[in-house]
Homo-oligomer: A and B are copies of this chain.
């Protein structure tokens, strides 16, 4: 099992929900970069559970501890290693599930792969908790990108069939992205947000769960990053995006919707923007999501990630008992997120940030 990705900025994640620690090593960061650890800590808090009624009320105090790579809060070349010590590693809550895999969870395939050796209590390396180290790397990447004038933001695009307004793919202001980053339930339309919250509460009461889509963007990315074919921006970002648990679809720009448009509708006309001296080439629409031929165009990069509904539900389900070899019924007890999507928003931002930073620093 490999747990790393990246060419220039290599991110390597380790640990699990019931090991002594989880953490991340990041190689290849530019030297001399000041990292604001308070801000990193606040970013981590956005992912943490128990912040409000829409998530599980488990408490995981995620304190990022720098072990290596920063002198006075500044990178200086060698890899940065940051860990989170696990306080509560009592696996008792999960023990009854050991031989009965939860439907659509990784229990079954993890057992196939790791057999007796993997204590799946709490999800092990498949735990949603493993997105915390990604968020640490992302919080750092976000700070590095901002020093290059690049800003990343995301919002809940949809929960079940309740849709937020999409990003205006042509004009996205830094202010809007900052407002979203400070919103515990980040949506563009207040009404859509209220309807989503209502749906999540209903889902929680019925013991069921909901999925949704997160839309993420990056503005200020220079044109000309990436390359054709397997070196392209979509290839690189999708690899990181699909590394987030529960993601089952990724699209850029108009994505699947573009397949229902004619070429004359989908094509983004070029024009010169700005005065004589500073004119830059832009597109009137942005169905290409800021990427043409695998290379950034200078327009905002737009991606949407589909999160399936949380597989852990309280309703009785059909499953198998791998010990007895019999079909059986399963009722999962314990505390679970009725909808992972709100907590996934910073994770998607982190993935976008880390992926983009690697692309930019790898670019020739």
Residue numbers of A with Cβ under 8 A of B are 1-5, 8, 10, 12-16, 19-23, 25, 27-28, 30-32, 66-69, 71, 74-81, 83, 101, 103-106, 108-110, 112-119, 124-126, 130, 158, 160-161, 203, 208-213, 223-224, 226-232, 234-236, 238-243, 245, 247-256, 258-272, 279, 281, 283-284, 287-289, 292-297, 306-313, 315, 317-320, 322, 325-327, 361, 364
- Check if A113 sits within 8 Å of B227, measured CB to CB: yes
Nearest B residue to A70 via CB reads B19
Nearest B residue to A224 via CB reads B112
- Check if B23 sits within 8 Å of A1, measured CB to CB: no
Q: Can you report 12 residue pairs joining A to B where beta carbons are below 8 Å apart?
A: A4-B12, A15-B67, A76-B114, A209-B264, A248-B253, A249-B250, A249-B251, A255-B306, A261-B308, A261-B309, A269-B319, A288-B308
* Complex Cα spacing A248 to B232, Å: 12
Contact of A31 among B105, B114, B238, B262 (CB under 8 A): B114
Known: A306-B259, A327-B272. A108 touches B68 (CB 8 A): no
Known: A228-B130, A256-B213, A361-B364. A78 touches B251 (CB 8 A): no
- Check if A230 sits within 8 Å of B19, measured CB to CB: no
Nearest B residue to A244 via CB reads B229
Q: Give chain B residues whose Cβ lies under 8 Å from the Cβ of A250.
A: 238, 249-251
- Check if A364 sits within 8 Å of B28, measured CB to CB: yes
Known: A79-B12, A267-B313, A297-B109. A67 touches B1 (CB 8 A): no
- Check if B318 sits within 8 Å of A271, measured CB to CB: yes
Known: A295-B109, A295-B112. A264 touches B315 (CB 8 A): yes
- Check if B83 sits within 8 Å of A309, measured CB to CB: no
- Check if B1 sits within 8 Å of A27, measured CB to CB: yes
- Check if B262 sits within 8 Å of A309, measured CB to CB: yes
Nearest B residue to A255 via CB reads B249
Q: Give chain B residues whose Cβ lies under 8 Å from the Cβ of A270.
A: 101, 103, 108, 318-320
- Check if B19 sits within 8 Å of A67, measured CB to CB: yes
- Check if A293 sits within 8 Å of B12, measured CB to CB: no
Q: Give chain B residues whose Cβ lies under 8 Å from the Cβ of A105.
A: 292-293
- Check if A256 sits within 8 Å of B256, measured CB to CB: yes
- Check if B248 sits within 8 Å of A248, measured CB to CB: no
- Check if A78 sits within 8 Å of B16, measured CB to CB: yes
Q: Which of A19, A224, A283, A308 has the most CB of B within 10 A?
A: A308
Distance from A303 Cβ to chain B, minimum over Cβ atoms (Å): 10
Q: Give chain B residues whose Cβ lies under 8 Å from the Cβ of A243.
A: 229-230, 232, 235, 294
Known: A160-B260, A248-B255. A267 touches B68 (CB 8 A): no
- Check if A258 sits within 8 Å of B248, measured CB to CB: yes
Nearest B residue to A121 via CB reads B71
Q: Give chain B residues whose Cβ lies under 8 Å from the Cβ of A110.
A: 228, 293, 295
Q: Give chain B residues whose Cβ lies under 8 Å from the Cβ of A31.
A: 114-115, 117-118
Nearest B residue to A249 via CB reads B251
- Check if B224 sits within 8 Å of A230, measured CB to CB: no
- Check if A210 sits within 8 Å of B262, measured CB to CB: yes
Contact of A5 among B69, B108, B230 (CB under 8 A): B230
* Complex Cα spacing A328 to B269, Å: 10
- Check if A3 sits within 8 Å of B78, measured CB to CB: yes
* Complex Cα spacing A360 to B246, Å: 22
* Complex Cα spacing A208 to B262, Å: 7
- Check if A4 sits within 8 Å of B15, measured CB to CB: no
Q: Give chain B residues whose Cβ lies under 8 Å from the Cβ of A364.
A: 1, 8, 28, 30, 361
